[in-house]
Amino acid sequence: MLYADTDKSVARTVLDRPPELETEAEDADSNGEEEGVFTADGRGNVRQWEVDLLARLVEAEAEAEPYVGKVAVAAVMINRVESPSFPGTLSGVVYQPLAFESVMNGRIWRVWNFSESQRAARAAMNGWDPTWGSLYFWNPATATSRWVWSRQIVTRYGRHVFAR
């Protein structure tokens, strides 16, 4: 399962799943079946909590962006999971130290209405990549890293640019 958190080198924390998903996951584990599983096209089984984790990150990073911009942020996350340069799990990518401000400051857990971001997460998990394989995104108006500007910009959606 590509997106399951099977990488034991990634330290699991209570933030791996939002508290409201813990009961659902425990229920699924107790009867040997997973609830809320859907199959992403050619990418293996994806658990509902993984969709929600990705959607929370998308909402926290791109809530004011157009739908395609949200799909683009989700696609970057999927591209990172699939890249040997990043952790090989969704949790590993989301919780990579210093990677996302919304994770560092806890905003990822303070988003409540993220249904459009869930649709965007599913679209990216099912193969839509409007970034053509980008591994990075940032807002040029707020970026402080000089290094990030060394990346080749591929496209722009809303206020974010997407780069390799």
Q: What letter does residue 86 receive in the DSSP assignment?
A: S
CA–CA distances in Å: residue 143 to residues 5, 82, 94, 96, 137: 30, 25, 19, 18, 10
Q: What is the DSSP string of 105-138?
A: TSGGGS----HHHHHHHHHHHTT--TTSS--EEE
pLDDT at site 44:
60
Mean pLDDT along residues 11-17: 31
**Quick one: pLDDT at residue 64?**
92
Q: Which of 65, 124, 138, 59 is nearest to 153 (CA)?
A: 138
Strands 38-40 and 44-46: antiparallel
Question: When comparing pLDDT for 107 and 44, which is higher?
Answer: 107
Reply yes or no on domain 19-27+38-131 having CATH 3.40.50.720.
no
pLDDT (tens digit, 9 = 90+) per residue, 57-92?
A: 999 999 999 999 999 999 999 999 999 999 989 999
**Mean pLDDT value of segment 111-135:** 94
Cα–Cα distance between 68 and 124 in angstroms, integer? 10
- Please give the Cα distance from 53 to 55 (Å, whole number): 5
* Better-scored residue on pLDDT, 8 or 142: 142
Model pLDDT for residues 140-150, shown as the tens digit of each residue: 998 888 888 88
Tell me phi and psi for residue 120, to 5 degrees.
-65, -40
**pLDDT reported for residue 47:** 86
* pLDDT computed for residue 46 by the predictor: 78
Q: What is the pLDDT of residue 143?
A: 86
| pLDDT in the model for residue 89 | 92
pTM for the full model?
A: 0.74
